Amino acid sequence: MSIEVGLVGLPNAGKSRIFNIFTRQNVPAENFPFCTIDPNVGVTTVDDPRLEQLASLIQPKNVRKISVNLIDIAGLVRGAHQGEGLGNQFLHHIRTVDAIAFVLRAFEDPSVSHVLGDVNPMRDYDILMTELLYADLASVQGSLEKVKKKNKVARSKEDLEFQRLLESLESWIAQEKPARTFEKTVNTEFEVYRMNLLTNKPAFLIINISEAELEVESEVSKLEKIILMFAEEQIPVVPFCVPIEEMLLNVSKEEREDIYRQYNLPMSGVELSGLIILKILNLITFFTAGEEEVAAWAIKEGTTAKKAAEKIHSDIAQGFVKAEVVSFEDFISAGSFAKARAQGNLRLEGRDYVVKDGDIIHFRFNVA
């Protein structure tokens, strides 16, 4: 499965520079609104520390990370749902992604204008969410009208229930509540419909900060307050300092560790974002490990061993015999598959085994 994440924000929020850091591209990032018109598309990877540990232990010829398609979507302004600015294009492109990364500007810089004149991340987030809510409300109202017309001609129990659910959802969104917080139902058709709404998409926040927010006590306190306010929305937050992230792109592992210590960072914004993307999409990671390649693979929680094998190759799934499984912790403790087997921590599992996060799997299969 491919993973697509859209960068969404007001003009001049810093989306394009952040996109360049994630994808190591060089798309234009100028100080004027709508520098990005057509969406830029690139690939970034998830830096899982466990994969790095495995690679360090095994020393394979190749390391395969989980990849994410990142889409830098045109900046949004008030009235986007009515076509203001590049609103219609914005809404079209955001409908195609699996998750949203809201980019909110928190840095002060007189040389970089703010489209609304002053820096206020909470207000900017409210504007973005309001536009998505209005767009969803229009979509639900349009669907509701179609169902009502259908029910005037030929009523069925299913259509009447669908109409009732749409009416409840319309009322919910009209109260400025996102579709993802609407109470789930047992109606599969309705749940599939709701999944496609903009405010039902999994989301997280990238707070674009300057070095001051990491060094100056008053600015650190301000950033902490912002993060606490967003915590009430139950949306993950990634503080992201562009100058530091750019610095981290071309330094050694030792230099990276020094930078982390200097700014009291557990990891980079890019690393944290990758792990959050998997979490909000309810994805877990399993690994394959050998002398040729150590690889990380993203799958939905609850995936069976045979379905996990499909991630690698359809032939492996079709010829599935058994899966040799060891947890990441047990493998690192043992140091090899042979030692894990000797310690009784390498077990054989069948096709219906539900893969757990961190499992290291060797698939046994027959090729017809």
| SS3 label, residue 309 | helix
Cα 182 from chain centroid (whole Å): 21
**In the CATH scheme, what is the code of domain 4-54+64-120+201-280?**
3.40.50.300
CATH superfamily of 130-197: Obg-related GTPase Ych/YyaF, coiled-coil domain (1.10.150.300)
* Torsion angle (degrees, nearest 10) of CA 220, 223, 229, 232: -90
The C-alpha atoms of residue 35 and residue 10 are separated, in whole angstroms, by 11
The C-alpha atoms of residue 35 and residue 25 are separated, in whole angstroms, by 16
**Would residue 230 be called left, alpha or beta, if left means φ above 0 and alpha means ψ between -120 and 50 degrees?**
alpha
Tell me the chain's radius of gyration from C-alpha atoms. 23
pLDDT score for 334: 94
Question: Residue 35 has which token pair?
Answer: 């520098």
Amino acid 80: pLDDT: 47
- Residue 244, Cβ neighbours under 10 Å: how many? 20
- Output DSSP code: residue 355: P
pLDDT values of the chain reduced to their tens digit, one per residue, 368 residues: 689 999 999 888 889 899 999 998 766 554 444 444 567 899 999 999 999 999 999 999 999 999 999 999 876 655 544 554 444 556 777 888 999 999 999 988 877 767 777 889 999 999 999 989 998 999 999 999 999 999 988 888 899 999 999 999 999 999 999 999 998 889 999 999 998 899 999 999 999 998 888 888 888 888 888 888 888 778 899 999 999 999 999 899 899 999 999 998 999 999 999 999 999 999 999 999 999 999 999 999 999 999 999 999 999 999 999 999 999 999 999 999 899 999 999 999 999 999 999 999 999 999 76
Domain 302-365: CATH superfamily is Beta-grasp domain (3.10.20.30)
Question: Would you kindly state where each structural domain of the chain is located, as residue ranges?
Answer: 4-54+64-120+201-280, 130-197, 302-365
User: How far, in Å, CA of 336 to CA of 163, rounded?
Assistant: 58
Check: CB of residue 147 under 8 Å from CB of residue 162.
yes
- 62-64 and 293-300 as β-strands: parallel, antiparallel, unpaired? parallel
Q: What is the largest CA-CA distance in the chain?
A: 71
